[in-house]
Chains A and B, each alone.
Chain A
Amino acid sequence: MFDFLKPPVLSFQEYLALAGRATQNVVRRPFYGQDVLLQMDTIGVGSIPITILIGFFSGAVMALQMSRALAQYGASGEVGKITAITLVRELGPVLTALLVAGRNASGIASELGSMKVTEQIDAMRALGTDPIKKLVTPRLIALCIMLPLLTVLADFIGLFGGYMVGVPLLRLTTGAQYWMSSYQSLEFNDLGQGLLKPFVFAYIIASVGCFFGMRTTGGTQGVGRATTQAVVVASVWIFVIDIVMTRIFLWIAT
């Protein structure tokens, strides 16, 4: 009766198995440090320009939108606070993660997918290396390190974007007050949330990208399919996990 549920449940089991093994390998020999560094470079450093761009504009647009609402309550001076809180808690982690999902979940899936269909994954196993150790774990580690860093970068650039709009452009407040109120508004809970979220999102992006890459079948067409699925599934999971985590942090804070 529930036969239609079988394929997704089986896939999810396979996903958990892959993610589990990749995670165990973090502490198991052999370590492929070289591969981790390479991935940190392509995934992390490669994403810096776009992170800066998006960070700046999201902060700027945030301040712009809020300026009117704040003016109604005569609280224009609080623009720094509002921008800081929304950026650090929500926009920074989610936007950066979505961006990196679009850029790298697809990149990972298509790279591993091409390796799968040209039998490079089989060759790897035949020649004595565990592809999960050699391919999946390095990507997982690299993303879990780089995404929080990218998020911090996006947060700062976003605050700067908010400053540009709030202070020189709209003259809502003074520069000193902007930075002061944004600094003071942030609590430990916000920072924890702002760093833990990207860490979990990174895990999702890397593992989902690798999962769809590793199970690619059906030639180059299959690679295209794997790529699309990876981005869609990773993005959806980012939103789902985001709401769950936000709920948990609110619950902790009260």
Chain B
Amino acid sequence: MADECILRFENVSMHFDGDDAPALDRVSFNLMAGETIVLFGAAGAGKTVLLKLAVGLLRPVSGRILLFGRDVTELREQEWYAMRARAGILFQEGGLFDSMTIEENVSYPMLNQKLVEIAPEEVHRRVEEVLQFVGLPQTMDKFPSELSGGMRRRVGIARATVTHPKLLMYDSPTAGLDPITANRIIALLIKERELRNTASMIVTHRFQDGHMLATFRYNPQTDKVLEASPEQREKLHTRFFVMKDGRLVFEGTEEELDKSTDPYISKFTMQRV
């Protein structure tokens, strides 16, 4: 694994006008290439705010953010467009454009993102390929409103990954889904990170998602996601973060998370099925 730092937060704080408490309180961490961070936290803990800060959709009130080694804290919106092309994000509320078809949605980043250079005749093929990847090849001409929640989530993943960004962030990809669909989505994330060695950050409320990410591998020969042997697990580089009221209160491996005796932190492991 290259020791390239993909995303770095240094004492980042965020405060919204009119709120008493900060939404993010002096958060620091590093996300290295090939690494996965699973982010837990109660509603309102600041998980979404953290992801949006990372791609400049919000501006921190203090601290420093480095994306791909570049200080982006003071970047102007126009300069951000080039940086964002290297990061993919799945939004909690979906963020699919509901006036556009699935094909238009998925091709949107290829046609609009700066620095992404894909020949126009290539675009259609890439859309087909990525929809195949998420298992929705038949939906091209449908509108988001015609799909189920789980299908929309997968279209969102397709749109976030279609340009093969080096950093992928998924905000609650499994929230509100049945366990079968949820596992299927996590399997997709595992497949994506394995094939492209992306750094990923996954917000979730389900411990099981984190457990899968920490212990499962994708096997290209059989096209299946399987439990990895203990020595392989080391290579998955999955870390767990827990947030509470805007602060990062835990940072460590799955084992350390399991051992934690803090009542708030252990709440996230006790949901284990």
Chain A residues within CB distance 8 Å of chain B: 115, 117-120, 122-130
- The 18 sampled A-B contact pairs (Cβ below 8 Å) are A118-B93, A118-B94, A118-B95, A118-B98, A119-B94, A119-B95, A120-B95, A120-B96, A120-B98, A123-B89, A126-B55, A126-B91, A127-B112, A127-B113, A128-B81, A128-B84, A128-B113, A130-B77
B98 touches A128 (CB 8 A): no
- Interface residue? B57 (CB, 8 A): yes
- Measured CB to CB, the nearest residue on chain A to B77 is A130
B94 touches A128 (CB 8 A): no
State which of A117, A126, A128, A129 has its C-beta within 8 Å of the C-beta of B93: A117
Closest beta carbon of chain A to B67's beta carbon, Å: 13
- Interface residue? B29 (CB, 8 A): no
- Interface residue? B52 (CB, 8 A): yes
B114 touches A128 (CB 8 A): yes
Given contacts A127-B109, A127-B112, A129-B112, contact A119 B77 (CB under 8 A): no
State which of A119, A129, A130 has its C-beta within 8 Å of the C-beta of B91: A119
- Interface residue? B97 (CB, 8 A): yes
B92 touches A119 (CB 8 A): yes
User: How far apart are the CA atoms of A222 and B81 in the complex, in Å?
Assistant: 28
- Measured CB to CB, the nearest residue on chain A to B114 is A128
Which residues of chain B in 108-165 are interfacial with respect to chain A, using CB atoms and an 8 Å cutoff? Answer: 108-109, 112-114, 116, 159
User: How far apart are the CA atoms of A129 and B77 in the complex, in Å?
Assistant: 11
Chain B residues within CB distance 8 Å of chain A: 52, 55, 57, 77, 80-81, 84-85, 87, 89, 91-98, 108-109, 112-114, 116, 159
State which of A117, A118, A127, A130 has its C-beta within 8 Å of the C-beta of B108: A127
Given contacts A119-B91, A119-B93, contact A126 B57 (CB under 8 A): yes
User: How far apart are the CA atoms of A117 and B94 in the complex, in Å?
Assistant: 10
Chain B residues near A125 (CB, 8 Å)?
A: 57, 77, 80, 84
Given contacts A120-B95, A120-B97, A123-B97, contact A128 B85 (CB under 8 A): yes
User: How far apart are the CA atoms of A122 and B94 in the complex, in Å?
Assistant: 10
State which of A126, A128, A129, A130 has its C-beta within 8 Å of the C-beta of B89: A126
Given contacts A128-B84, A130-B77, contact A123 B91 (CB under 8 A): yes
B97 touches A126 (CB 8 A): no
Chain A residues near B114 (CB, 8 Å)?
A: 128
**Extra pairs beyond A119-B93, A126-B89 (20, CB < 8 Å):** A115-B97, A118-B93, A118-B94, A119-B91, A119-B92, A120-B95, A120-B97, A122-B52, A122-B95, A123-B89, A123-B96, A123-B97, A125-B77, A125-B84, A126-B91, A128-B109, A128-B112, A128-B114, A128-B116, A130-B77
Chain B residues near A126 (CB, 8 Å)?
A: 55, 57, 84, 87, 89, 91, 95
User: How far apart are the CA atoms of A126 and B98 in the complex, in Å?
Assistant: 16
Chain A residues near B77 (CB, 8 Å)?
A: 125, 130
- Measured CB to CB, the nearest residue on chain B to A132 is B77
Chain B residues near A130 (CB, 8 Å)?
A: 77, 81
Closest beta carbon of chain A to B167's beta carbon, Å: 12
Chain A residues near B92 (CB, 8 Å)?
A: 119
Chain B residues near A122 (CB, 8 Å)?
A: 52, 57, 91, 95
User: How far apart are the CA atoms of A128 and B89 in the complex, in Å?
Assistant: 12
Closest beta carbon of chain A to B183's beta carbon, Å: 25
User: How far apart are the CA atoms of A54 and B87 in the complex, in Å?
Assistant: 51
- Measured CB to CB, the nearest residue on chain A to B109 is A127
A-B pairs with the 3 shortest C-beta distances? A123-B95, A128-B113, A119-B95
User: How far apart are the CA atoms of A115 and B96 in the complex, in Å?
Assistant: 9
Specify which of A119, A120, A123, A127 lies most central, judged by the most chain B CB atoms within 10 Å of its CB.
A127
Chain A residues near B57 (CB, 8 Å)?
A: 122, 125-126
- Measured CB to CB, the nearest residue on chain B to A129 is B112
User: How far apart are the CA atoms of A127 and B159 in the complex, in Å?
Assistant: 9
Closest beta carbon of chain B to A123's beta carbon, Å: 3
Closest beta carbon of chain B to A34's beta carbon, Å: 12
User: How far apart are the CA atoms of A118 and B159 in the complex, in Å?
Assistant: 16
Closest beta carbon of chain A to B19's beta carbon, Å: 12
Chain A residues near B93 (CB, 8 Å)?
A: 117-119
User: How far apart are the CA atoms of A115 and B91 in the complex, in Å?
Assistant: 13
User: How far apart are the CA atoms of A128 and B95 in the complex, in Å?
Assistant: 14
Closest beta carbon of chain A to B260's beta carbon, Å: 32
